[in-house]
A and B are shown apart, each in its own frame.
Chain A
């Protein structure tokens, strides 16, 4: 077991001494002082029969705290001090013979004990160093683990480890979040491939087989999360080599592709929608061409009229494109319709609230304004230098029963002559435009100036823009 703190008092004292290294001189001086102190204590309180006893713990203590050298020095100093304290000049050799023998035995035993103590001290020092190394290693390994698990947790991919049989053994924290799994134990050991839908299960089994043989693979598949939310995933499967280098486990990383898939589906839908609109516009153009040619007096006249109509239709599609072909503002529709007479635009006074129209009505009304404006330059109020047009509209009633009233009034032009034949414009306005608005559209030819009126429920065709 690795300890970060010393256990016993014994350990603590030695470690305390390791932490406070002192010079050799100090060590020996301290040893000498301890021995001297014990010697004085011996003389004062211990009877002569036990001269060595007190020196033993003191010398061992010195060896423990100050090291082997100081211990050996203390052993010799203790022996000398002990011998001095009990000897007497009356003896031929200071000590009686038996005490000489005791002194020698004491010294030998003491040296032995000091050497063992020194060894103990060194062992403890080595063990401390080893311990410190292990503590450091464990700390860095824990750090690495925290780093790896925080990386796994931070990933929004679902990172899984499966065994070679394809059963789940691990799932990253972030992975559990995206898979709506609150407790991994609920799925631990389950076959991973069974979580995938459609062709995905078979693809997963093939990928697992490949990984077990050491190959990586990738596929895309639908799969529900644990609580049944349908999603699309990009899945990468690769082998995790064991110590022998052969695949020991398998890594499977699934990335949530749902948003991308939905965008792709949306794109497909938009493309389909675009193709549909394009065909509808082409069909409309076909009808415009047919209707233009029906009343044509010459190819040249028909060609000019057709080109002019297409140009105004083109401007209307510009307006509609900005709203994804949902709707167009009446003001913009009028500008698109009047583009053919833009040089006389200041002779057409426009006044009315902002109204949004649906795309079908917007296109039809553009064509109608185009016809009114071009006819006005040919036969009506814009055909001389003084005539003018007033274009006014308003909405009466409220929300559910709102009615749209528009009036195109020409004045100041040459006297109006009712056309003998109904041309494109008349047919368009009186027949088709009324159907677009599901209301009444009237084109009248009083001598003082052409009048065109729309009176229709606003309902499905459009809405008033507040403010």
Chain B
């Protein structure tokens, strides 16, 4: 498919399984290696095990010890170049709360728009 030898990896963090799986299908169809987590704690474990992941798409409201914003900060601290896309159905969190260079999208969003943002930030 003309992709680089190691496909780009994306971690999708979303607590609604049906939505998580649909997003996973979307990115798999477009050549991504997709990791999925139902909450931020699981996401942190996956990130620790797969250091190649550079793109994280996370919901804000989730069960567990961390919400999506906190997770985004953890990712940013570990990997300054990571592409962070934060989505929520609860409205825009204060800009100051979000890590530098992260992108916020209100739910429902078009995953193609996420793709565009990934292309823009990867360039």
Chain A: residues with CB nearer than 8 A to chain B?
272, 275-276, 279-280, 282-288, 290-291, 294, 360, 364, 367, 427-428, 431-433, 435-436
Contact = CB atoms under 8 A, between A and B. Distances in A.
A291 B16 contact: no
Nearest to B19: A287
B100 interface: no
Given A287-B21, A360-B16, 17 more contacts: A272-B91, A275-B91, A276-B90, A279-B89, A280-B89, A280-B107, A282-B108, A283-B108, A284-B16, A288-B18, A290-B22, A291-B22, A291-B25, A294-B25, A427-B21, A428-B18, A435-B20
A432 B24 CA distance: 12
B38 interface: yes
Interface size of B as a range: 10 to 19
Contacts of B23: 287
A290 B26 contact: yes
A284 B59 CA distance: 14
Contact of A283 (B17, B21, B107): B107
Q: Among the interface residues B21, B25, B61, B108, which one has the most CB atoms of the partner chain A within 10 A? A: B108
Contacts of A364: 17-18
B28 to A, nearest CB: 11
Contacts of A291: 18, 22, 25
Interface string B12-38: 000011111111011000000000001
Interface string B45-68: 000000000000000010000000
B74 interface: no
Interface in B64-114: 89-91, 106-108
Nearest to A436: B17
A283 B21 CA distance: 12
Contacts of B90: 272, 276, 279
A287 B18 contact: yes
Contacts of A279: 89-90, 106-108
Contacts of A272: 90-91
A435 B21 CA distance: 10
Given A276-B90, A283-B89, A290-B26, A432 B18 contact: yes
Contacts of B26: 290
A282 B21 contact: no
A230 to B, nearest CB: 25
Contact of B21 (A285, A286, A367, A432): A432
A158 B115 CA distance: 61
Contacts of B22: 286-287, 290-291
Contacts of A432: 17-18, 21
Contacts of B18: 284, 287-288, 291, 364, 367, 428, 432, 436
Contacts of B25: 290-291, 294
Contacts of A294: 25
Contacts of B38: 435
B25 to A, nearest CB: 7
A283 B90 CA distance: 13
Rank and list the top 6 A-B pairs by shortest CB-CB distance, nearest first. Answer: A279-B89, A435-B17, A287-B22, A283-B108, A432-B17, A432-B18
A431 B21 contact: yes
Contacts of B106: 279
A286 B17 contact: no
Contacts of A282: 107-108
B98 to A, nearest CB: 19
**Most interface-central of A276, A282, A283, A364 (chain B CB within 10 A):** A283
6 contacts: A272-B90, A279-B89, A279-B106, A279-B108, A432-B21, A435-B17
Contacts of A436: 17-18
Given A272-B90, A290-B26, A435-B38, A280 B16 contact: yes
A432 B38 CA distance: 11
Nearest to B15: A360
Contacts of B89: 275-276, 279-280, 283
Contacts of B16: 280, 283-284, 360
Nearest to B18: A432
A294 B23 CA distance: 12
A132 to B, nearest CB: 77
Contacts of A287: 18-19, 21-23
Contacts of A286: 19, 22, 108
A287 B20 CA distance: 9
Contacts of B108: 279, 282-283, 285-286
Which among B20, B25, B89 has the greatest number of chain A C-beta atoms within 10 A?
B89
Nearest to A361: B17
A294 B111 CA distance: 15
Contacts of A367: 18
